[in-house]
Structure 1
Amino acid sequence: MTSSSSSKNSARRGIAIGAAVAAAAVLLGVVSYTATKPGETRTAVSADAPAAEVSADPQAGVYPELAKLARRDPEDSLAQGRADAPVVLIEYADFKCGYCGKFARDTEPALVKKYVDDGTLRIEWRNFPIFGKESEAAARAAWAAGQQGRFWQFHAAAYADDAKEKGFGDARLKALAEEAGVEDIARFSRDAGSEAAAKAVKKDQEEAYQLGATSTPSFLVNGRPIAGAQPAETFTTAIEAAAKTAKAGE
C-alpha cells in the first residue's frame, strides 16, 4: 500500500468515526469527572458527584463506529481477556491520574474476576498521557514492561496507593519494573527509551484525541462511552447490556 493510499484510508476511517465523536465527546467531556489536575490531591470521585446514566437498554448510548476501535490483537501485551470476547472495554488512562488509580484499585479487579475470567470481557489499555513528561515516561515504561509480559503487574504497581505521589522519574520507573517482576531491567530501559515505545504511546494518544476524550479515565464498552471512575454498577450495566446484544447477534 502506498503512503497516499494509507493516508486516504486513515482519512476515511476518521470520517466514519466522526459521526459518533460529537456524541461521545459530550459524554467524555461534559459528563466526565474531571481528571486529577497537576497539584491537586484528590484521588477519588466525590460522594456527591452524579454517576453517569448508563441504561440497561443494549442499544442506548452505543455507537457502532466506536466499537471498531477495539483492536482484538491476540499479541497485544497491554490487553487481557480473550481476543474474541463478546465485549471489549477500552480504557484511555494516565498513570498520574488519581481517578485512573481509583478505577484500577476499586473497580477493575472485580470486573476481571467476574467477566474477564469467564470469557465475556476483554480489557484493552490505551496510554493517554496528558499530565506532562512524567506521564509520558510512565506510559513508555508501561509499554516496555509489556514487551516482557509484565504490563499488568507494572500497572498494578504504578497504581498502588500513594504510588503516583512518589513520581515517575527514571529510578522510580526501574523500581516499579522490578516490583512488577520485569526480568531484564537493562532491556526494559532500552525499550522504554526506544522509538517503538514513542510510536506506540503516540498511536494510543492520537486515538483518544480523535475520539474526543479530554480527561482520564475515559472508556468505551463495545462503542458505549463512559467517562470517569464511575461506580462499579455503571460498568456492570454496560458490560451486561453489551453481552446481551452480542449474544442476540450470534
Structure 2
Amino acid sequence: MTKIFLVIPVIVGIIVGGFITFYPQEERQDTLLTKSKLIEGGSPILGSPSAPITILEWGDYQCTFCYKFHDTTLKIIEEEYIKTGKVKLVFKDFPLNGPDSVLAAEAAYCANDQRKYWEYHDETYKNWAGERTGWITRDSLEKFAMTVNLDLNKFNNCMDSHTYKEKVNQLYDFGQEVGIDATPSFLVFNDEKIIKIRGNQPLEVFLKTFDEL
C-alpha cells in the first residue's frame, strides 16, 4: 500500500479519503477536529494522558490489517513510545465488516465497565480468525470475558441489553464525518496539526510521523 502522509491544520481542514480539502473556519469543522472531540467517546487512553502525541486508531476487530498492526507495529510503539510517555493511544471502532464487528466492539465497552477494556481488546485480537469467518459469537466473546476474569453476570447483562450498540454506531458515523474510509486508519496529532496514516504501514512511517510532530 502506498504510504500517505496528510498534514492537516487544525480547525481549517477536514480529511476526505486520500486528499486534503480545505474549508473556511466554520464552527462545524472547529468542533470536529479539536483534540478533545477526537479523543472523547473512544477507548480509555493507553499511556500517559499528558503524552504530547496522540494516535487515534480507527479499527475493526475482524480486519486483517488491524490484526497485523496490533500484532507487530503496535507492540514496538507501545514499548518504545507509549510506555515511555511520548505517545498515547486511543482506539475508536469503525466496524466495516458488519454486525459481528459491532458485537465485538460492544463487548470491549462492556469490559470497560469493569475497567478491563484493554485486556479484553487485546484478548479479542489474540483470538483473531479472519474476516467474516464466524469466529465472533456470543459464546466466543463470553470466553474472552472469562479469560480476562470479568464478572460474567455483569458482562452478559451488558451484552444482552446492547448497552453500547448505539455508541459503536455513533463512532462509525463520526469516523465517516472526518473522512475515515478504511481500517486501520490513524489520525496522529499534537496540539498543532493532524497527520493521517491510512492502512497498516511499516513502523518507519509512524516514526517519521512522530518526528514530524
Is TM > 0.5 for Structure 1 vs Structure 2? yes
Distance (whole Å) between structure 2 residues aligned to residue 147 and residue 89 of structure 1: 23
Note the C-alpha offset of 1:26: 1.6
The residue aligned with 1:216 is 183
Residue of 112, 129, 135 corresponding to 1:167: 135
Q: Are the aligned partners of 1:24 and 1:225 in contact in 2 as well (CA < 8 Å)?
A: no
The residue aligned with 2:155 is 188
Q: Are the aligned partners of 2:111 and 2:150 in contact in 1 as well (CA < 8 Å)?
A: no
Residue of 13, 23, 27 corresponding to 1:20: 13
Bigger helix share? 1
Q: Are the aligned partners of 1:88 and 1:122 in contact in 2 as well (CA < 8 Å)?
A: yes
Alpha-carbon distance change, 196 to 162 in structure 1, aligned in 2, over 3 angstroms: closer
Bigger strand share? 2
Distance (whole Å) between structure 2 residues aligned to residue 195 and residue 174 of structure 1: 14
Alpha-carbon distance change, 235 to 175 in structure 1, aligned in 2, over 3 angstroms: same
Alpha-carbon distance change, 135 to 27 in structure 1, aligned in 2, over 3 angstroms: farther
Specify the SS of the correspondent of 2:48.
Answer: coil
Note the C-alpha offset of 1:240: 2.9
2:58 corresponds to 1:92: yes
Note the C-alpha offset of 1:182: 3.4
Larger radius of gyration: 1
Distance (whole Å) between structure 1 residues aligned to residue 164 and residue 206 of structure 2: 30
Q: Are the aligned partners of 2:43 and 2:91 in contact in 1 as well (CA < 8 Å)?
A: no
Distance (whole Å) between structure 1 residues aligned to residue 120 and residue 60 of structure 2: 13
Residue of 78, 85, 89 corresponding to 1:112: 78
- The percentage of counterpart residues that share the same residue type is 26
Q: Are the aligned partners of 2:67 and 2:128 in contact in 1 as well (CA < 8 Å)?
A: no
Report the TM-score, using the length of structure 1 for normalisation: 0.67
The residue aligned with 1:145 is 111
Specify the SS of the correspondent of 1:91.
Answer: strand
Specify the SS of the correspondent of 1:188.
Answer: helix
Q: Are the aligned partners of 2:43 and 2:90 in contact in 1 as well (CA < 8 Å)?
A: no
Alpha-carbon distance change, 159 to 27 in structure 1, aligned in 2, over 3 angstroms: farther
Alpha-carbon distance change, 82 to 70 in structure 1, aligned in 2, over 3 angstroms: farther
Paired AA for residue 26 in structure 1: G
Paired AA for residue 94 in structure 1: D
Note the C-alpha offset of 1:194: 3.6
Paired AA for residue 140 in structure 2: R
Kindly provide the CA deviation profile for residues 171-215 of structure 1, in whole angstroms up to 9, marking residues without a partner as x.
011111222x13201111222344541232123212111011111
Note the C-alpha offset of 1:108: 0.6
Report the TM-score, using the length of structure 2 for normalisation: 0.78
Paired AA for residue 104 in structure 2: A
Paired AA for residue 239 in structure 1: F
Note the C-alpha offset of 1:82: 1.6
Kindly provide the CA deviation profile for residues 110-149 of structure 1, in whole angstroms up to 9, marking residues without a partner as x.
1011111111111001011111111111110111112212
Q: Are the aligned partners of 1:70 and 1:88 in contact in 2 as well (CA < 8 Å)?
A: no
Alpha-carbon distance change, 176 to 161 in structure 1, aligned in 2, over 3 angstroms: closer
Q: Are the aligned partners of 1:100 and 1:217 in contact in 2 as well (CA < 8 Å)?
A: yes
The residue aligned with 2:199 is 228
Paired AA for residue 205 in structure 2: T
Alpha-carbon distance change, 131 to 123 in structure 1, aligned in 2, over 3 angstroms: same
2:124 corresponds to 1:158: yes
Give runs of ≥4 in structure 1 deviating > 3 Å: 63-67, 161-166, 193-196
The residue aligned with 1:197 is 164
